Amino acid sequence: MNVLILCTGNSCRSQMAHGFLQSFDKNIIVRSAGTQAAGKLNAGAVKAMAEVGIDISHHTSDSVDMYLGEEWDYVITVCGGANEACPMFTGKVAQRLHIGFDDPSHAEGTLPFIESEFRRVRDEIKNRFYEFYIKEIKKQELPKCSCGGSC
């Protein structure tokens, strides 16, 4: 199973989604990229993920151009900008989905408020990607019944 997660900057939401999806199942090949990659990770996203035991500090912020010719079971956009700017993939893409989230890097206010926004979005990403994992990926792994159907 190959999953590509796209965002505009590939520094925050796509990185968190990448970290969670990979934590659900080490057998899934997960990559994340940006339509306008920032080239670095957002420190707030790295901190928020570390709080739940997932280290994304080793991830890189990559351009979607790196992955255009590859085959993907899923290409998932996590922000409106990436959804609108998602390039045409020349490789095989079985399904393209949009699972959008607010951008916590745009939060303004006190440090505690900004940190709470990163946590809120992190938790939304975890819940929505776990739902995706169960409904889309795990269901494909279920064995067929002995009658040859999927009863």
Catalytically active residues are 7, 79, 86
H-helix segments, the chain: 13-24, 43-50, 80-85, 111-132, 139-141
- Half-sphere exposure of residue 83: CA atoms within 13 angstroms, side-chain side: 10
* CA dist., res. 48 & res. 28, Å (int): 23
User: Do 101 and 124 meet the contact criterion of CB atoms below 8 Å apart?
Assistant: yes
* CA dist., res. 136 & res. 151, Å (int): 17
